[in-house]
Amino acid sequence: MATVSGGQSTERLRLGETVRKQLAIKRLVSGLGVSLALFVLGAAALPGAAAAGPVDEAMSQARQDVEQGRCEPASARLRGIDGLESRAALLAGQCQIRQGLYPEALNSLDGVRGAADLSREQVGDVELYRGVALYHLERYADSAAALDSARGLTGEEAQLQLYTGLLLLRDGDNDRAAPALEAASRLAPRLTEPVASYYAGLAWQGSSERERARDAFQRVVDLDGDGPWGKEAAKLLETTELYPWFVRGRVGFEYDDNVLLRGSVTETGAAILDRAGEQDWRGVWEIDGGVRVWESEDAQTAAGLTAGYSGNVHRDLDGLDTHFIRAGAYLSQRLGPQTEAQARYQFGYANVRNENDYLYEHFGELSLIHTWRKNGTTFLFLDVVSDDLRFRNLSVTDNVPSPPGGAGGPNTVCANGLAGGEIGCSPNGVDERNARDRDGIGFGAAVEHRYLVPIPNGLDDVLEELEVGGGYRFSRYDAEGEEWDHFANQLTALIEIELPLDISVTTRGSYTRRDFDNPSTFPDVEVFNQEYVLSDDDREENEWLFDAAIIKDITDNLSVSVAYQYLDNDSNRDAYNYDRHIVGGYLNFRFD
């Protein structure tokens, strides 16, 4: 029997089990029977089977028989037509399931397993409905075997997902049951709802996914508010936590071979590099949480608060130890059973070594999320960010004065060795401090789509779930300094895989093209105590980013992971031309 976490009562468990055994198929097949019969009867009209007149007449009368629950007469009409005997038995089995005659249905279907006069898809349908009959006869292992035989053959994917989910739910495998039941809901809502969403809600409860459970129960209420399913879902909706919360995060260690993102021309004071170089180990940690603090009576509108903290401590480059604190709020609005809009705001504050202010950041986002019935989930985003960096630019020779009287020729401060011996001087008239000021406002728009790929028959033992996705993002950043004004276009792709033994693999890659409005104030050749020459070409960058992680669940709340990230920033200015490798191991936690 499915488990329900969070202190849910045994009375509710018994309620779910009672409804599962007594109501599920009675309600479901009452909507299925006619369409199933029409599918089989439609397949009956084959060339050479018989004269068109007798076939059409037999099909019409069989439809009427099925609609009135007369299974044997409907089947008998088709058995009298050459070549349709096996399809008649399939129809009889489906009709008998509709009537709750599970032993009779199983007998009808067993007699035509693998029949030569059935199409490949109809062979799968026989196995599918054998699985349905066996489920209601409480022969659960046999039911699971029949459903596995139907996988990849039957065209009734929604029914296959529904009963797969019900079996997983009964076995307490909520994490796998919930996606299967959600898939059944999306694939054929007219046939599977509100049954699929009701049990998806129970499964999400068992996985401690309160918000998803509430979403599923709310769909049932929307679809069947005055009916038995809607009334039971409303009760569960009331007893599910009204103000769901979450806390998640990780702690771990990383090795970073380019902490400073250093190109072949130094952007920072040489003292840091001379002391420790650019490679380092660091400890990292992060924690994020949120709570829903208000919800409308119809559960369509909600608001909440969020907060987070992340930080790191370096082994050698302790001057770069950073702490970042975040706080914000959100407002969400459900626009339909499968569509939700959200607005959120977040303020972030960062400092270095718990002493020096580093960054003030304001972030706002509008998002729209829509789950399609068969084709995954689409995310749309609009966002704006305001960055205020509080540190002094570490380029030590900024604002070097021009020669006296503004005369041409070499900069005398550099020529006399007064620049500090670290980084050369820019040409006269260049104000490095202001030009390199990164404070500014960024605007972005993005679209991303994710899709759960059906697992082919035979691979489901080694591949439990496969999700693929991709997206596009456009952004513009207007900075105080001309060094950072740019447009950016980004393409992303992702693959997430669930494997046996509670192991998952996630990969994500992106390509970003940045076109800057101006040339860079950094040279292409590093010089010391002398004036350097700047290129007239506008700065351009092509960034390639890839990261991957392997995650092993320990409990419902804890997991361990190893991760790798590679960044290659290909720029026509050497100060920004660099690559980076990060390898890390983490302990992850999640409570909600």
The answer on pLDDT for 407 being more than 80 is: no
Stretch 125-134: mean pLDDT, rounded?
Answer: 91
**Of 104, 116, 122, nearest in space to 44 by CA:** 122
Every domain of the chain and the residues it spans = 10-187, 298-303+330-591
Lowest mean pLDDT among 240-249, 280-289, 517-526: 240-249
The correct answer on CATH 2.40.160 for the domain covering 298-303+330-591 is yes
Measured CA to CA, the distance from residue 142 to residue 147 in angstroms comes to 9
The mean pLDDT value of the chain amounts to 79
Measured CA to CA, the distance from residue 185 to residue 158 in angstroms comes to 7
The correct answer on CATH 1.25.40.10 for the domain covering 10-187 is yes
Q: Are 301 and 253 in contact (CB under 8 A)?
A: no
pTM over 0.75: no
What was the pLDDT predicted at 334? 82
DSSP letter string, 403-429: PGGG-SSS-HHHHTT-S-SSS-BPPTT
Asked if the domains 10-187 and 298-303+330-591 are classified in one and the same CATH topology, the answer is: no
Give 333 or 318, the one with higher predicted confidence.
Answer: 333
Neighbouring C-beta atoms of residue 580, cutoff 10 Å: 18
Query: What's CA 88's distance to the chain center, in Å?
Result: 44
Considering 166-175, 461-470, 560-569, the range whose residues carry the highest mean pLDDT is 560-569
Give 17 or 410, the one with higher predicted confidence.
Answer: 410
Instruction: Based on DSSP, count helices (H) and strands (E) in the chain, helices before strands.
Output: 17, 14
